[in-house]
Amino acid sequence: MGEEIELVLDKYRTAGRILAEVREEAKARIEEGVLLLDVAEFVENSIREKGGEPAFPCNISRDEEAAHATPAIDDNAVFGTEIVKLDIGVHVDGYIGDSAVTVDLSGKNDELVKASEAGLNAAIKIIRDGVSTVEIGEAIENAIREHGYKPIVNLTGHGLTRYDAHAAPAIPNVKHKTGVVLRENDVVAIEPFATDGVGKVAEHGNAEIYSLIKAKPVRIKEAKKLLEEIKKYQELPFAKRWLPRERLDLAFRTLEGTRGILRAYPILKEEGDGLVSQAEHTLIVKKDGCEVTTKLP
Ligand code: CO
């Protein structure tokens, strides 16, 4: 039993190490005038070159976008003087690392960037076997407010299980009355978001990210073929631009139009149009602390 756990934890560690390397390399490429698509493809290709697989599409969310933005096929958007969130997922045999950083190309939002980092560090400091998500949420909220910003209340950290990038429990970024106790060898992602807006996000516009809910029978040949392609991502999120282009519109519309096959992830935007920063690491809960898997050694 103990050996089996170590084998699994080692896969989480490998995913985390790949992620940390790719994240640092990608961070350096985020500059004014660079194509978002180039950075996203660099991230996803580098993950594969290093022996992992993307656990979800590279998220590049800017300014009031908090999450779920990823470039479309042939997207020609370039970075401006924005506050950029780079959120990356890597899996090795289904075992996931999830980590995000904020790059401030505006040069004016240092404290906002520090606020979410402080929230993450405050959480990491107290996580150990027996800690409650209530304590974690409180630590994150206090750290963000000390920097003069608000935590985003409807975005949370989460558990990670095999092929599930958003498993229970939800780990709030604010203090709640009730929560869940974390136990030794639980794997969780902590991801505080800070904002100068109202502290809430809502879905906005079209989605470029989807996941498979259930492979139901479809009649159209192209849709059937596309569904077979999508099955290889299991239930992990994928980008529309990852799919084969041949008759994609017809096939995709058929799948999207059949209830219960695909889940869409529209962009999440700050409801008060506030700027948003994010910091995230994946960690393994230990008896007396925690082991961050997505940090460079
Ligand atoms: Co996450």
CA of residue 17 to ligand 1 center, whole Å: 16
CA distances from 205 to 37, 264, 274 (A): 19, 11, 17
* pLDDT for position 2: 76
Q: Are 123 and 140 in contact (CB under 8 A)?
A: yes
Q: How do residues 194-248 score in pLDDT, each as one tens digit? A: 999 999 999 998 899 999 999 999 999 999 999 999 999 999 999 999 999 988 9
Q: Is the pLDDT of residue 1 over 60?
A: no
> How many angstroms is it from 99 CA to the middle of ligand 1?
7
Mean pLDDT of the chain: 97
pLDDT of 222? 95
Q: What is the pLDDT of residues 83-123, one digit of tens each?
A: 999 999 999 999 999 999 999 999 999 999 999 999 999 99
How many Å lie between the centroid of ligand 1 and the Cα of residue 10? Answer: 20
User: Start-end ranges of CATH 1.10.10.10 in the chain?
Assistant: 207-267
Over residues 228-238, the pLDDT tens digits come to: 999 999 999 99
Residue 3, pLDDT > 90, answer: no
Give me ligand 1 centre to Cα 189, in Å.
Answer: 6
State residue 211's pLDDT score: 98
pLDDT at residue 81, as a whole number: 98
Burial grade of 6 (CB within 10 A; 0-12, 13-18, 19 or more): exposed
What's the 267 CA to ligand 1 centre distance in angstroms? 15
pLDDT for 27:
98
Domain 2-203+273-292 is in which class? alpha beta
Q: Which CATH architecture has domain 207-267?
A: Orthogonal Bundle (1.10)
Smallest CA-to-CA distance from 16 within 260, 293, 296, 244 is with 293
Please list the residue range(s) of the chain that carry CATH number 3.90.230.10.
2-203+273-292
Residue 297 pLDDT: 82
- Residues acting as catalytic residues: 87, 98, 158, 166, 191, 280
